[in-house]
Structure 1
């Protein structure tokens, strides 16, 4: 861009400034270029997110394949409707602590877009069941998914991938009825048996049978034992 400081100084000391036509054309060309540049929208980087959202994203527990872009869209929608970033940050911290305390498998962690979505899961109470005060009667472990998971963790049980909560609840009840998880099946090893002596061949039996003694008498328990020469 051309240096117009001398022209600026001249205009400051005189009421009228005479310019060459070429100078006027240059000024107009540069003015048009500046207007055209300012009219173009600024390019937004693909991964350029506000710092406050980056903090929330770092706090939120990791789920495989979770979409940061979708999470940011849901987060922005809540902010536009009046939810403060601090509220969602506190909710993300509470949920992260819940996931850690309950040992939730990564595939069962809520997607961030759902957590910050219209359901406002960030505003729910994510206090782990172990930290809640139990009622005098010991508490009903089956009243919610959280208490069912807590009871399963107490008994050393965890949901199988894709298992319905009703099925997991039934396995917990079986474990309670059996005073805990069923023991592993034991394998009994039979001691080795001594080898049996080979049976004598028929020809050998006939050769050793006394004269006049029937073979049936030989195998009777009450028959006298024959004497062999």
Structure 2
């Protein structure tokens, strides 16, 4: 089984290739890292002496996180697979953070920064996601102070809003992505899109004016 996996929703982009049960990983950091995705993959493929037709499976992180980074990866895959009928497996960046955390902490919350005053939130009990990813205001985070916070972006909200949650730093275990893919969704390449959770500004204004929530089905 040969697999190509791309994750570009965070500051550190990673490209993972499996070939004959061996795992090969490259990470990309720094300014303009998104523009390096294509050349890094080409170099890996050349070094491993394989071509695109040799891959049985493709997977991509659709967020939440850097919308620009995700769009670059999607555009790359769509160009790469223009004549392919293979489907793409998708996964969430928050799920990868959760599955990388191996301590015995039952209730977990992963936050990704949406805005200074809002976070993309996923709630878990061990490895099972119970809620999210969903965008909520920073003030609403105080409802979940019995959940442990995971990941460096969670620390931003803990410090800025004086949250009482326990906090744990998480070192991403990239090989754990293979576990996520066992139960992940697959989509046609033409239907591949980033996860989009931002609430329209007009909706926020309406909610503040009327002091109630607008159903998501009415956002557009």
Given the two structures, how large is their TM-score scaled by the length of structure 2? 0.24
Given the two structures, how large is their TM-score scaled by the length of structure 1? 0.24
Greater share of residues in strand: 2
Name the larger-Rg structure: 1
Q: Greater relative contact order (Cα 8 A, min sep 6): structure 1 or 2? A: 2
